[in-house]
Amino acid sequence: MAHPGAMPIHRATVKREWLDYNSHMNDANYLMVCGFALDLFMEHVGLGEAARKEHGMSLYTLQAHLSYMRELREGDAIRVETRVLDFDDKRVVLYYEIFRDKDAADAGPVAACETMNLHVDTRGPKSALFLAPTLSQIDALAQDAKRLPPAKYAGRPIAIPRKTTSAV
Amino acid sequence: MAHPGAMPIHRATVKREWLDYNSHMNDANYLMVCGFALDLFMEHVGLGEAARKEHGMSLYTLQAHLSYMRELREGDAIRVETRVLDFDDKRVVLYYEIFRDKDAADAGPVAACETMNLHVDTRGPKSALFLAPTLSQIDALAQDAKRLPPAKYAGRPIAIPRKTTSAV
C-alpha cells in the first residue's frame, strides 16, 4: 500500500477508437478514462487487484455525473487528477478532472466527473465497511484535497438555466 | 423523419467485452448503451446521420448523470427507454432508463441516465438553434413523456445522506 498523501495522476493519449462520428472523444470514453484513474485510486487505498482477489472486496459505482467542457481529439495527451470529496465508513465520493497537457495552465479541465462509490463484498454482493488501513488512506486523501481549489463541477443537478419558469 | 409520438426503444444484449473485472457491465458501457439510444432519438427528431452530413448539425453532451441500481451480466437482454424531460430552443434534457427483460414488471430500471444535450453547428463548433421540424418533434416527445411515471433518478445532486453534518 502506498503512503498517505497526494493521489497518483493517470496519464493517457486519446486513441482513434475513442472517437465518435463527431471526430471527438465519445461521451462514454470520458467515463472509461476516469475508470482507469479509479483503478489507481483503488491501488492507492489498498483495494487493488491483489486485495480484490484475496478478500473479494471491490468498489461499485452508484452514481457518476460527468460535465463536458471541451472536445478531445485523437492524439491529445491528457491527465486525470483525482480527489476525495467526501466519505463515510463504506462510501466515498470521488472527483476527477481531465486536463489536456497542451492547454494553458489556467484553462481548467476539459471535463470533470463526480462519482459515488460503495465498498462491496462481491460474494454477496453486499455493502461492506472499509477496512481500517483503507479508511485511513481515504481520510488522508480527503484531508489533502482541502488544499485544492473548489470542485467547481461537483454537487450540481442537471437543469436548463432560465430567467422565468419553464413553459414545458 | 418519423411522426411525432412515442420514442422507439433501443434493444441490446450485454456482450462479454462490456464487462469488467467484477464480471458485471462496466460503468462506462451503461453510457455507451445510452449513446445508442441517443442515436435513435436523433433519428427520430431529424438529427440523424443524413441530416448531420447535410447540415453539419449534431448534439453534444454537456452533462451526463448516471445512477446504477443493479448489475448486468453477459447475455442479459436489455432495453433503453428514452424520454424528453425538458428543452429550450437549443438544449434538450433526456432521461434514459435501462431495463432488463427478464426482471419483474415492477422491478424498475437497472440504471438511469439524465443528460443535458446542446445543439451544435459542428463547423464552429458553436451552439445553434433547433430547426422548426426538430423542435416540433422534441415538443411532441416532451408532451408524450408527461403520461409517464416520475423520473425518479433525475435532478438529484451526488451526496452521502447523513443525519448530522459531515465530519469530513
Interface ipTM: 0.92
Confidence of residue B1 (pLDDT cuts 50, 70, 90): very low
Cβ contact A132:A119 at 8 Å: no
d(CA B84, CA A16): 31
Cis peptide before A4 (omega within 30 of 0): no
Quick one: pLDDT at residue B3? 41
Q: In chain A, whose CA is at the least distance from the CA of B56?
A: A22
pTM of the complete model? 0.93
Asked if the C-beta of B154 comes within 8 angstroms of chain A's C-beta atoms, the answer is yes
**Candidate from A92-96, A97-101, B29-33, B47-51 with smallest mean pLDDT:** B47-51
CA atoms of A58 and A92, how far apart (whole Å):
12
Name chain B contacts of A157, Cβ cutoff 8 Å: 65, 155-157
Q: Using pLDDT thresholds of 50, 70 and 90, give the confidence band for residue B163.
A: confident
> What is the nearest CA distance from B31 to chain A, expressed in angstroms?
5
A122 contacts B158? CB cut-off 8 A: no
Task: Classify A100 as helix, strand or coil.
Answer: strand
Give just the sign of the alpha carbon dihedral A60, A126, B112, B102: positive
Between A112-121, A159-168, B26-35, B37-46, the lowest mean confidence (pLDDT) is in: A159-168
| Three-state SS at B81 | strand
Q: Give the residue on A whose Cα is nearest the Cα of B63.
A: A67
**Chain B residue closest to A139 (CA)?**
B168
Of B28, B62, B157, Cβ closest to residue A157: B157
* CB nearest to B68's CB, from A63, A86, A142: A63
Residue that is written with C-alpha cell 443524413 in the block = B50
Q: Is B89 on the interface with A (CB under 8 A)?
A: no
Nearest to A28 by CA among B91, B22, B38: B38
How many CB pairs lie under 8 A apart between chains A and B? 119
Are residues A157 and B162, on separate chains, in Cβ contact within 8 Å?
Answer: no
> What pLDDT digit, counting tens, does each position of A120-132 carry?
998 888 999 999 9
Cell 493521489 -> residue: A7
Tens digits of per-residue pLDDT, A31-67? Answer: 999 999 999 999 999 999 888 888 889 999 999 999 9
Among residues of chain B, what percentage have pLDDT more than 70? Answer: 94
Over chain B, what is the mean pLDDT? 92
Residues of B with Cβ-Cβ distance to A115 under 8 angstroms: 158
Q: Is the pLDDT at A2 greater than 50, yes or no?
A: no
A143 near B168, Cβ under 8 Å?
A: no
Q: For residues B75 and B34, what is the distance between their CA atoms, to the nearest angstrom?
A: 18
